[in-house]
Structure 1
Amino acid sequence: MRMLFLDLDSTSPDHLGCYGYHRNTSPNIDRIAAEGVRFTNYYTSDAPCAPSRTALMSGKFGIVNGLVGHGGTAGDMKLEGTERELMGKLTRGGSLPSYLGLAADMNTALISPFAQRHSTFHFYAGFNEILNTGRYGNESAEHVTPVALDWVKRNASQDNWFLYINYWDPHTPYRAPMEFGNPFESEPLPEWLTEEVLDRHKQMVGSHCVHELHIDHRGKKYTNETSPNFPRHPGEIQSMDDMRRMIDGYDCGIRYMDDHLGRLFAALEEQGVMDELIIIISADHGENMGQLGIYGEHATADQGTCRIPMIIRWPGMKKGVVDEGLHYHLDLLPTLAEMLDSPAVPDWHGESYAPALKEGADCGRDYLVVSQCAHVVQRSVRFKDWIYIRSYHDGFHLFDEEMLYNLAEDPKEQHNLAAERRDICFEAVYYLNEWHDGMMRRNSDAVDPLWTVMKEGGPFHAKGYLRKYMDRLKETGRGHLVPELVRRHPGEFPTEPSNVLASLQAKIGAKMAGK
């Protein structure tokens, strides 16, 4: 058995041809989709990058594995504690690659810099061979493909291997070489992105809104700066020409990557293994391209960020099938276990959807709960036609505490119906509480890392940014938004004790001194 897993960072299904996109961004991906099963309601349980891949590799939700953010305590997995054995659980079949190695005797290989990018070295657990492409996730396809082609040339004809390849081109900022050109320059933008929508988005605030598409992590600033190294990526979107530059930049990244996937598939055909090869194509998260007024970022627990592509071509199984059930990305682990006729690891949180591959059967969940704690702090419930988003920290976007969108009628999340449909919100909160109770029962230390993030000052990509952002808002005519940001985030502005509190403290001090 041979298996290829393609992890296409920041790839939104909305921008792939096989998911209905009007531009020809993904002919090679589309070909694989036509030969297998395409999942339309597939979600990462935890966004963005590090939480998503940690949940996938461990088979556990972030609320249990502990890694839900990009910094602070919640930037690391929880320790196994006193019950840890000589080899930890990730080595003993608890991770995706270690399970495949033990259950199916597969040689497991990884081509990715991801562990180094986020210091998530548990990501390596179970891989026999690790090839770091060396640019901390800033590589383009021309840096990845030669490494992949060399591996294929040396190993493809052997039996029983699992190869995981990470491509980065759709990740902001958009880096397809300029000599690649722009195959979409004369094609229309998505119909929903109109002047009216842009005008509405100009009233919004926060990182990666139309006014600030760049985060300066060293300077702790949200800015409209651009870089000559990334000419496809604008610093702001103030006109429809800017909008075109943004959308074309993202789509060129996907198409450039897809062209390289075509080279990889051709090499596998030359090795004579393509026909029997299991191919899995997915992503760590999607990319907001206007959803919630955010562009070129994966910063929320919403449809744009958390819905991801999933395509599985398994020779001998269903072909040309579209599965519309609700699934988590971590459901892949028990699915592979069932497909391999091997027992699943008991403490995985996923549910197998192998019947979808074998029979085309509907085996989706009733609802999903997805989380984001790196840019904002949100938990969301995806059920029926709805997504309900609850914000604990808005990342300075001034989101409503509750947001509700009917995805059948409003797939780009432009009209919040929470005030109108309290009945649907109540149903969503019931699901959220039910999920939370179940997860906390499985939580060895009974600590929800979402609240760890909050207690440590908020999400990594917002913590410490507000003071300088207030200055920018005043400089750009948006100073009227500052009081509300200050009201919502008083923790960003530590103050001296009030006169009343100071007086009480003085009296306590005097009594302690015996005066």
Structure 2
Amino acid sequence: MRILYIDIDSMRPNHMGAYGYHRNTTPNMDQIARQGTRFSKAYCASSPCVPSRASFASGLFGIHSGVMTHWGPGCDFRYTSDPDRPMFMRLLRQNGYKLTTFSSFADRHDAFWYMAGWNEVHTHSLKKGDENADEVLDAVFPWLDQRGQEEDYFLHIQFWDPHRQYTMPESYATMFEKEAAPAWPDEAEITKQQDSYAPYGARMLFPGSNKSPFSYLPDRIQDRQDFIQFVNTYDGAVRYLDDQLGLLFDKLEQLGIMEDTAIIISADHGEAMGEHSVYGDHTCADEAVHHIPMIIKWPGQTSVNQEYHDLVYNVDLIATICDLLGISVPKKWDGCSFAGLISDSEAYTPREFLVWDHALYSVGRSVRTDKWLLMRTYHPGVVPLEPVELYDMKNDPYMTNNLAPSQPDIVKDLDHLLMEWWHEQVGQPGSAPDPLPLIVESGPYKYIQEQQWADNLREVGREDLRQKYLEATNQNNH
């Protein structure tokens, strides 16, 4: 079996045609979706980049892998050599698969545990994630020419393109300007967002410089026109990546291996596009940041163009790959296989709820059911968040109306699920402590320091926001 795993950074599924987006951003990925299965409610268990790829590599939630942030306290990978918790790459290799990754992730984030188990690691440039998709494929295509027709390999290709900065050819930044933009956020919502002190927010779109580095992006989002300019650029970055993937799929056709190669398309995390007043980044434990695409085209599956609405994790995807390959899923992994959905059998029990966490810029843990999202923020960091937020995701998908004050019974029920989940995780024999309190104690100040952000708010003339931020910080510190 040949497996091609396409790993996209910062990909919003609701900006893909396969998930109902009205713009033609992803024609090539949509074609793969029509040939396979897609999941509309797939989520990363921990975000952003480093903790999510720790889950990919280990099959574990962040509470077990030890990785919940990008460095420092709460970023200590625990199980590189534990035979009861084998790394995903090592497990496949032990079962006869050759594993190759084209990714600059470890180099960008000093996450060298990621190297464990691969036969080949190609960093393909020294740009540490600032390379575009064409530069990645310039390295991938010679490998495919030499090795693509071999059997039993797992080829992982990671793309950064939808992640800021958006450095695709400028023509892509304007290719959607004649098409209607998403209706949300509207003018009224953008006006409210001017009073958020969040980094990467409407008022603080480029922290530090407060100036856009590109002519095709606004300095800040003050009105609908600014939003349209920004979302056009994001969608252009997605379309540029998709065009490059079209070339990749053409290469598979030329080699005669397209039909019998498994293709998986997913992401490390999603991306905010106005949710919690943030644009083009990932700063909290909300839906926009954790919602990911998950598309699987598996040779021999009889049902195609299927969409499932079950709640699934990225760690479930890793377990499913093993299951489909006939490899026993390790009992101490956190993922549950949904291979029954791909192979059209009935051996699958859906999850009733998910718990996920985030610990960069802010620290929080959330519970997601089919209808509800409960967000518990333990340290707001530099993001204006309430300690408890509750959203009706069926009727308020952009999380604009916090129902926690008016729905105490729902909050209580979801809190019970959260604590039940937590006790199950830390109560496992041999489990290490939850790393989240370490990050709460030290603060989620990795890229933006506490005082630095207060100074930045003063420099842009928003003393009012500076005072709101300092009040929230003082409350948390006491």
- Give the TM-score of the pair, scaled to structure 1: 0.88
Partner SS state of residue 373, structure 2: strand
Deviation of the 1:443 alpha carbon = 7.2
Establish whether residue 413 from structure 1 lines up as the match of residue 399 from structure 2: yes
Match of 2:315 in 1: 330
2:40 equivalent in structure 1: 40
1:308-349 residue CA offsets vs partner (Å, 9 max, x unmatched)? 000000121131111110011001222122212221112111
Mapped pair 1:250 → 2:242: no
What letter corresponds to residue 115 of structure 1 in structure 2? A
- From the superposition, tell whether residues 65 and 493 of structure 1 become closer, same or farther in structure 2 (CA, over 3 Å): closer
The question of 1:9 aligning with 2:9 is answered: yes
In the TM superposition, residue 190 of structure 1 has moved relative to its aligned partner by 0.2
| SS class of match (1:297) | coil
Q: Is the 8 A contact 2:173 2:216 kept in 1?
A: no
Q: CA, structure 1 residues 363+311, in 2 after alignment: closer, same or farther (shift >3 Å)?
A: farther
Matched, 1:188 2:174: no
The structural deviation recorded for 1:231 is 3.5
8 Å CA contact 1:377, 1:459 repeated in 2 = no
Cα root mean square deviation, aligned: 2.0
Pairing 1:199–2:191 present: yes
Alpha-carbon distance between aligned partners in 2 of 1:360 and 1:178, rounded to the nearest angstrom:
47
Superposition pairs of residues 20-99 of structure 1, within 5 angstroms: 20-78=20-78, 88-89=81-82, 94-99=86-91
Which of 291, 304, 308 lines up with 1:319 in the alignment? 304
Q: CA deviation at 1:18?
A: 0.5
Is the contact made by 1:42 and 1:328 (CA closer than 8 Å) also made in structure 2? yes
User: Does the CA contact (< 8 Å) of 2:63 and 2:435 recur in 1?
Assistant: yes
Distance apart, 1:492 and its partner CA: 9.7
Identity of aligned residues (%): 34
How far is the alpha carbon of 1:417 from its aligned partner?
Answer: 0.9
Q: Does the aligned pair in 1 maintain the 2:380–2:473 contact within 8 Å?
A: no
Which moved further from structure 2: 410-419 or 282-291?
A: 410-419
CA distance in 2, matches of 1:443, 1:236: 50
Please tell me whether residue 140 in structure 1 is matched to residue 124 in structure 2: no
Structure 2: state its 5+ residue gaps.
Answer: none
1:437 aligns with 2:423: yes
- Of the three residues 196, 217, 227, the one matched with 1:233 is 217
Aligned partners of 1:429 and 1:400: how far apart in 2? 15
Change (3 A) 1:444 1:93: closer
* Alignment of structure 1 residues 360-375 onto 2, 5 Å: 363-375=349-361
Larger Rg computed on CA atoms: 1
Q: Cα deviations across residues 364-403 of structure 1 (Å, max 9, x unaligned)?
A: 2010001000121010000121111111111322211111
Contact 1:325 1:363 in 2 (8 A): no
TM-score by length of 2: 0.95
SS in 1 for 2:156: strand
2:434 counterpart of 1:448: yes
Give 1:10's aligned amino acid: S
The answer to whether the 8 Å contact 2:79/2:85 transfers is no
Q: Could you tell which deviates more after superposition, 110-119 or 351-360?
A: 351-360
Contact 2:193-2:203 within 8 A present in 1 as well? no
Q: Equivalent of 1:264, from 204, 223, 248?
A: 248
Aligned partners of 2:240 and 2:429: how far apart in 1? 42
CA gap 1:372/1:443 in 2 versus in 1, 3 angstroms? farther
1:163 equivalenced with 2:147 (yes/no) = no
Give the Cα separation in 2 of the matches to 1:13 and 1:358: 24
Match of 2:146 in 1: 154
